[in-house]
Amino acid sequence: MRRTRIVAGLLCAIAAAAVLAAPVLKAGTEPLNYVDINKIKGEGLQRSQVMDLASWLTDVYAPRLTGSPMSQKAAEWTVAKLKEFGLVNVKIEPWANRNGFERGWTNDKFYLAAVAPEKFPIPGTPTAWTPGTDGLVSGEVVMVTATTEADLAAYKGKLQGKWVLTQAPPDVAAYWKAPATRYTREELDALEAWPAPQPEFGAAPPGGRAGGPGAPAPGAPPAAGRGGMGSMAARNAFFKAEGALGTFTTAPRGHGIYTVGGNRAADPATTLPAIAIGAEYYGRIARMLAKNIPVTIEANIANTFHPDPPVFNIVGELPGTDKTDEIVMLGGHFDTWHAATGATDNSVGVAVMMEAMRILKTSGVKLRRTVRIGLWGGEEQGLIGSREYVAAHFARRQPAPAQAGQPGPPGGRGGIGPQGPLELKPDWDKFSVYFNIDNGTGALRGIYLQGNDAVAPIFREWMEPFRSLGMTTMTIRNTGGTDHLAFDAVGLPGFQFIQDERLQPGDLQKMATIAAGFAYFAANRDEKLPRKPLTVPVAGRPAK
């Protein structure tokens, strides 16, 4: 068997040599060193520290809103931990550009309750970068669903000292399905059979989970802080000018779950206290108002702005041997939103990738290439940290001529405006691959090939040792919304795993083991991973 494989490999190499410049794909010849793989599995599955890391990152050093004092404290803990694991060149790396983070923000006190006609507490969370109340305040509630300037004019002079419900109460669907599910065999098969007939952009793909429960209902007003800020900001400015006390929003998910964001560039002069509350409370208040029963709400909310906040990524590495100047990266975003402890988004990715680095170091396996961890800030505000890192170390898109002189990268999640040619740094050629975790938080079930067919035969073989851990599926499909896109955007191989949902200790152990295994394979194969053909011109370099 072994001999046959070697001969087959030689034949492939000879055949490939005759095809000049074609990537050499030697199916069935990835070197799988099962002695090392067993060391990685032993460390990751029998002596795991991943749940301890996850606890520190969620129970103690959370939430980690970008630019908040806690994000800095958590980063210092992370740096110390990575050093303790034996990584080198561990550091907090500030971004070259602030990207609009002029102020950090924290919610330091929160009291919200109805006081008439009945007294009941209202759980909620302030929208980030909004002001608190002026101490203890109280006022009646008004619903204003008007969005146009003309319709809003009807409320002129009627909002002084009032709270504003800014949207109609959503319909909340019952949970007929369990909140946490594993991908079924059928769903995984559907992913592997991609491309299926293309759904509309943003719709849930067949077998996939994009969108999912909690996606905004059609016609819902834009959530504060993420896209569509224009109309929301204009309405809030109107409410503020009219002397309203603050605004309430909710989400159709219900069952006590709501989502909250924020706009780091919100202008304090036109921003009111804004609070996300659960759909059940929102609906109760709205339904009382519909019966012409006045509702009075009391609040005392203290939010603090922190000037010149820290904005950064965290990096550290395990040096390679004979290919030490070549780079394999593992990572995920370090920042979270502020409503909870960020366990599933994305403390799990941070804990798993830190653990993968620990596994690689502690198991003592040889790494030919340098394996580097990157933990990104500002992902939730538009993949900012990873884009900053890629621009600083690997490549950046020059601004399109018309855009030259505009500060900072374009905003928006994955939104890339018109851009010029690629400007490459020396390490662009030294880069092999980046693996990201930020997708659903549960067991790894496979990998998205991100449209890169050439890696399929390689990943197929790399998955084999982890088949028993549930890692079985490859799909040519792209997956978006997170930091591998920052690498993909400049022609570097960047991948995201296919994942189940929810944090489970066994899942996290398997995740870290698989991530360590993939980094190990990438660090040790003879060639760097094949890339997709570049579709953009490269500045100062003839097209290949």
Smallest distance from the beta carbon of 153 to Zn ion, in angstroms?
40
Instruction: Give me the 274-313 binding string for Zn ion, x by CB under 5 A, dash otherwise.
Output: ----------------------------------------
Identify which of residues 121 and 211 has a Cβ nearer to Zn ion in the complex.
211
What is the x/- site pattern for Zn ion, positions 324-363, by CB under 5 A?
---------------------xx-----------------
Query: From CA 241, how far away is CA 246, in angstroms rounded?
Result: 11
- 139 φ/ψ angles, rounded to the nearest 5 degrees: -170, 165
Nearer to Zn ion, 64 or 372 (CB): 64
What residues numbered 20-59 form the site for Zn ion, per CB under 5 A?
Answer: none
Please identify, using beta-carbon distances, which residue of 162 and 484 lies nearer to Zn ion: 484
Q: Give the three-class secondary structure for 109.
A: strand
Ramachandran quadrant class, 7 (left: phi over 0; alpha: psi -120 to 50; beta: rest): alpha
DSSP letters, 156-208, are TTS-TT-EEE-SPPPP-----S-SS-PPPHHHHHHHHT---SPPPTTSPPTT-
SS3 for 470?
Answer: coil
In whole angstroms, the minimum distance from the beta carbon of 236 to Zn ion comes to 26
Alpha carbon distance 534, 421 (integer Å):
11
Taking the complex as a whole, the smallest distance from the CB of residue 68 to Zn ion amounts, in Å, to 16
**CB closer to Zn ion, 389 vs 462:** 389
User: Rounded distance, CA 104 to CA 71, Å?
Assistant: 10
The H or E element that residue 76 is part of is helix 69-84
Q: Nearest approach, Cβ of 226 to Zn ion (angstroms)?
A: 13
424-463 residues near Zn ion, rule: CB under 5 A: 438
Other beta carbons less than 10 A from residue 444's beta carbon? 28
Measured from the CB atom, is 303 or 441 closer to Zn ion?
441
d(CA 343, CA 346): 6
Residues of this chain, 77-136, that bind Zn ion according to CB under 5 A: none
CB-CB contact of 469 with 513 (8 Å): yes
CA 125, distance to chain mean position in Å, is 21
Nearer to Zn ion by C-beta: 99 or 346? 346
CB 278 within 8 A of CB 250: yes
**Position of tokens 């070259």?**
96
388 binds Zn ion (CB under 5 A): no
Q: Output the smallest distance, CB 346 to Zn ion, in A.
A: 4
End-to-end CA distance of the chain: give it in Å, rounded.
Answer: 39
Nearer Cβ to Zn ion (104/331): 331
Question: Minimum CB separation from Zn ion for residue 480, in Å?
Answer: 12
Q: Select 187 or 345, whichever has its Cβ closest to Zn ion.
A: 345
HSE, side-chain direction, 13 A CA sphere, residue 366? 10
Q: Could you give the angle at the alpha carbon of 387 between the alpha carbons of 381 and 391, nearest 5°?
A: 150
Q: Which residues of 58-92 are buried (b: 16+ CB within 10 A; e: fewer)?
A: beebbbbbbbbebbbebbeebbebbeebebeebeb
- At closest approach, how far in Å is the CB of 388 from Zn ion? 17
**Smallest distance from the beta carbon of 484 to Zn ion, in angstroms?**
12
Of 132 and 332, which CB lies nearer to Zn ion in the complex structure? 332
Residue numbers 213-272 binding Zn ion by CB under 5 A: none
* # of chain residues touching Zn ion (CB under 5 A): 3
Smaller CB separation from Zn ion, 132 or 377: 377
- How far apart CA 358 and CA 267 sit, in angstroms, is 43
- Taking the least distance from each CB to Zn ion, the nearer of 29 and 66 is 66
The CB-side HSE value for 248 (13 A sphere, CA atoms) comes to 30
CB of 414 to Zn ion, least distance (A): 12
Nearer to Zn ion, 132 or 442 (CB): 442
Cβ-in-10-Å burial (0-12, 13-18, 19+) of 156 comes to: exposed
Least CB distance to Zn ion at residue 212 (A): 14
Smaller CB distance to Zn ion: residue 463 or 512?
512
Burial 349-388 (b: 16+ CB within 10 A, else e): bbbbbbbbbbbbbbbebebbbbbbbbbbbbbbbbbbbbbb
Binding footprint of Zn ion on the chain (CB under 5 A): 345-346, 438
